[in-house]
Structure 1
């Protein structure tokens, strides 16, 4: 049976993040991708020029259409935007009960534009975190969810991850990319175990969509049957390759996208 994954997120007209990045990631990792679009954005590598939310009722209709016909092996959740849309997504997940839910609490775009209304943070925490197999916040997003200053050193990450887990998520992947230094450590808190995933910091301005891409890669690998620690490990390594190859794309004038098909496109030139 073909592995399938559903992304529930916003559209990025520039193609580097959101629904577009998720579907590229699913395809690159050998998974059939479906989508439920929660918002349209006018967006490119320089920033977000406009946001148009989809009605909560239509979000729910998209979910019912996909789940009612296609066996979904994993779900990735990204930009939702408003409390009403969060409620519609939570209701849909409760109706259809997918096995794996990867929640990326998208709040701010790479250029600094806010993608989640402030009043929606409480809805996200109360309604979706308890439904998540794993949440994948970066340090600033974790701070917003916890209502505290974000941690600035590796030693403080386990405490923050534990406090996030106490909010209801089964597992937490706390991403340390905002720390200073040559390393980019991530921490997976899973079934009482702290699993560190170390990685080198790749110097590039082309990192648009990295959070979307990592969470959708985890969902894709869960859909293929990998256990969560292995899915997180392999997704991080695959993303490192996509970031390392990003400068070769030459897309846009701002923060360009990562190279989702870095393992495929070079072979097309032979």
Structure 2
């Protein structure tokens, strides 16, 4: 049987990121995704123009229906959008003890534009991170979450404040390679990947969903992180450009 992964994230009508990316990735890696959509966005492959968040009361009703029916082997969280939705998610995660939770702390889209109603850094670290196994911020997000600038200081602060591991990705660096850094208590590991020629829409969603799916397949965390990066590299190498903006990962099995 396919493992069940609960995805809590926003909807991207262009199909490149958000819930679309999560479902495609999880299906490609042999999982089954059910979803709680935190908000509807107005965006395309070029930028975000706006968003409207879902009423937490409706999300609660949906979550109750899902948990009455399904057992979950992993949870992936993307766009939260507000402190009220973060509070809802934290209460939901308390009902799923022992289930691996991967949090992609989405604050802005790859193409530009805010996906948060307010500053969510403290709420994410204080309310969500203690329920999570792993955070997957890019370096700008890690800096905003931690209040630090240097990479290792970001990692150490996220470990201390969030009380979970952190994978800080280097997609936004101006370097020939993309360096991703996994910080765990007493341990640091780095992966280097060739920087591909395009800008990509939905790569962060894809990575976090891949890790969640592989954890649902019972791969140990570090192994899941390594293998998920390899899958994302393959998806990006076969990316395509559906519109006039960024390329989209081709998430084929």
Q: Normalised by the size of structure 1, how large is the TM-score?
A: 0.90
Partner of 1:113 in structure 2?
113
What CA distance in whole angstroms lies between the structure 2 residues aligned with 1:190 and 1:227?
Answer: 13
CA RMSD of aligned residues (A): 1.4
Contact 2:81/2:118 (CA < 8 Å) preserved in 1? no
> Aligned equivalents of 2:16 and 2:96: distance in 1?
29
Per-residue deviation, residues 231-263 of structure 1 (Å, max 9, x unmatched): 0001001101111111xx3311111311111x4
Residue segments in structure 2 that go unaligned for 5+ positions in a row:
none
SS of structure 1 residue aligned to 2:194: coil
Aligned partners of 1:90, 1:129: CA distance in 2, in Å? 9
1:200 aligns with 2:198: no
Q: Distance in 1 between matches of 2:201 and 2:98?
A: 28
Q: 1:178 maps to what in 2?
A: 172
SS in 2 for 1:112: coil
SS in 1 for 2:121: helix
The structure 1 residue matched to 2:214, chosen from 221, 224, 227, is 221
Provide the secondary structure at the position in 1 that maps to 2:193: coil
Tell me if the contact between 1:60 and 1:89 (Cα under 8 Å) persists in the aligned partners.
Answer: no
Q: Which moved more, 1:58-67 or 1:16-25?
A: 58-67
- The runs of 5 or more residues in structure 1 that have no matched partner are 152-156, 264-270
Residue matched to 1:245: 238
Structure 2 equivalent of residue 27 of structure 1: 27
- What is the TM-score when the length of structure 2 is the normalising length? 0.95
CA distance in 1, matches of 2:169, 2:109: 16
Out of 162, 170, 191, the position equivalent to 1:168 is 162
Q: Determine if contact 2:159/2:185 at 8 Å carries over to the other structure.
A: no
Q: CA deviation at 1:191?
A: 4.0
1:121-200 equivalences under 5 Å are 121-148=121-148, 150-151=149-150, 157-200=151-194
Equivalent positions of 1:20-59 (< 5 A) are 20-59=20-59
- Using the alignment, how far apart are the partners of 1:35 and 1:90 within structure 2? 16
